Amino acid sequence: MEDGHINKWTNLYNEQIKVRIDKKNKMAAAAQNPYKNGFTPNISATKMQELYGPKSKEELAEIKTTYQMAGRALMVRDFGKASFVKIFDGHDNFQLYVKQEHLSADDFAEYKLLDHGDIVYAEGTPFKTNKGELSLSATKFHILTKAIRPLPEKFHGLTDAELKYRMRYVDLITNDETRKTLKMRSEIVRYIRQFFYGHDYMEVETPMLHSIAGGAAARPFNTHHNALDMDLFMRIAPELHLKRLIVGGYPRVFEMNRCFRNEGLSIKHNPEFTTIEFYCAYATYEDLIKFTEELIGGIARDVLHSESIQYGDKNISLARPYKRITMRDAVSEKIGLTLSETKNKDLLIKKLLEKNEIDLKDIQNLSADKLLVKCFEEFVEHTLIQPTFITAYPTEISPLARRNEKDPTITDRFEFFMNGWEVANAFSELNDPADQLGRFAEQAIQKTLGDDEACDVDYDFIRALEYGMPPTAGEGIGIDRLVMLLTNSASIRDVIAFPLLKEEKLFAENESAPPAP
Sign of CA dihedral 403, 408, 409, 415: negative
Domain end residue (candidates: 122, 155, 188): 155
pLDDT at 219 over 60: yes
Detail the DSSP E strand segments found in 21-80: 67-78
Q: Specify whether 186 is located in the same domain as 125.
A: no
The reported pLDDT for the residue numbered 393 is: 97
DSSP string, 149-204: SPPPPTTT---SHHHHHHTHHHHHHH-HHHHHHHHHHHHHHHHHHHHHHHTTPEE-
Q: Specify whether 45 is located in the same domain as 146.
A: yes
pLDDT at 5 over 60: no
CA distances in angstroms from 232 to 207, 220, 354, 366, 453, listed in the order given: 11, 10, 43, 31, 16
How many structural domains does the chain have? 2
The reported pLDDT for the residue numbered 332 is: 98
Q: Specify whether 412 is located in the same domain as 463.
A: yes
The reported pLDDT for the residue numbered 517 is: 42
Q: What's the rounded mean pLDDT across residues 427-431?
A: 96
* Contact indicator for 279, 473 with CB cutoff of 8 Å: yes
The reported pLDDT for the residue numbered 24 is: 96
Q: What's the rounded mean pLDDT across residues 472-493?
A: 97
Q: Look at residue 461 and tell me if it is in a domain.
A: yes
The reported pLDDT for the residue numbered 257 is: 96
The reported pLDDT for the residue numbered 3 is: 54
pLDDT at 408 over 90: yes
Q: Look at residue 19 and tell me if it is in a domain.
A: yes
Q: Specify whether 137 is located in the same domain as 191.
A: no
0.85 cut: is pTM over it?
A: yes
Side by side, the strands of the sheet bearing 272-281 are 202-203, 252-260, 272-281, 472-478, 421-428, 413-418, 388-391, 323-326
Q: Look at residue 510 and tell me if it is in a domain.
A: no
pLDDT at 349 over 90: yes
Q: Look at residue 509 and tell me if it is in a domain.
A: no
Q: Which residues contact 310 (CB under 8 A, 6 or more apart)?
A: 316, 488
User: Residues of the chain with pLDDT > 70: what percent?
Assistant: 94
Give residue 505's pLDDT band: very low, low, confident or very high (50, 70, 90).
confident
pLDDT at 490 over 50: yes
Give residue 52's pLDDT band: very low, low, confident or very high (50, 70, 90).
very high
The reported pLDDT for the residue numbered 154 is: 57
Q: Look at residue 372 and tell me if it is in a domain.
A: no
Tell me how far apart the alpha carbons of residues 170 and 402 are, in angstroms, rounded to a whole number. 49
Chain-centroid distance, C-alpha 242: 22
Domain range enclosing 308: 176-322+386-494
Q: What's the rounded mean pLDDT across residues 347-368?
A: 92
Tell me how far apart the alpha carbons of residues 364 and 374 are, in angstroms, rounded to a whole number. 12
pLDDT at 10 over 50: no
Q: Specify whether 130 is located in the same domain as 249.
A: no
The reported pLDDT for the residue numbered 156 is: 56
Average pLDDT, rounded, for the chain: 92
Choice among 12-21, 128-137, 231-240 with the minimum mean pLDDT: 12-21
**Side chain identity at residue 464, one-letter code:** A
DSSP string, 244-313: HHHHTT-SEEEEEEEEE-----BTTB-SEEEEEEEEEET--HHHHHHHHHHHHHHHIIIII-SSEEEETT
Tell me how far apart the alpha carbons of residues 332 and 354 are, in angstroms, rounded to a whole number. 16
Q: Look at residue 349 and tell me if it is in a domain.
A: no
Q: Look at residue 356 and tell me if it is in a domain.
A: no
What's the pLDDT tens digit per position in 97-119? 999 999 999 999 999 999 999 99
pLDDT at 7 over 70: no
Q: Specify whether 435 is located in the same domain as 487.
A: yes
User: Between 510 and 381, whose confidence is greater?
Assistant: 381
The reported pLDDT for the residue numbered 1 is: 44
User: Residues of the chain with pLDDT > 90: what percent?
Assistant: 82
Domain CATH number, residue 468: 3.30.930.10
Q: Specify whether 115 is located in the same domain as 253.
A: no
Q: What's the rounded mean pLDDT across residues 446-462?
A: 85
The reported pLDDT for the residue numbered 13 is: 43
Domain CATH number, residue 88: 2.40.50.140
Tell me how far apart the alpha carbons of residues 257 and 276 are, in angstroms, rounded to a whole number. 7
Q: Specify whether 232 is located in the same domain as 309.
A: yes
Q: Look at residue 370 and tell me if it is in a domain.
A: no
Q: Specify whether 142 is located in the same domain as 188.
A: no
* Contact indicator for 371, 348 with CB cutoff of 8 Å: yes
Within 13 Å of residue 104, how many CA atoms lie on the same side as its CB? Answer: 8
Q: Specify whether 264 is located in the same domain as 124.
A: no
Q: Specify whether 271 is located in the same domain as 234.
A: yes
Domain end residue (candidates: 97, 120, 155): 155
Q: Specify whether 100 is located in the same domain as 219.
A: no
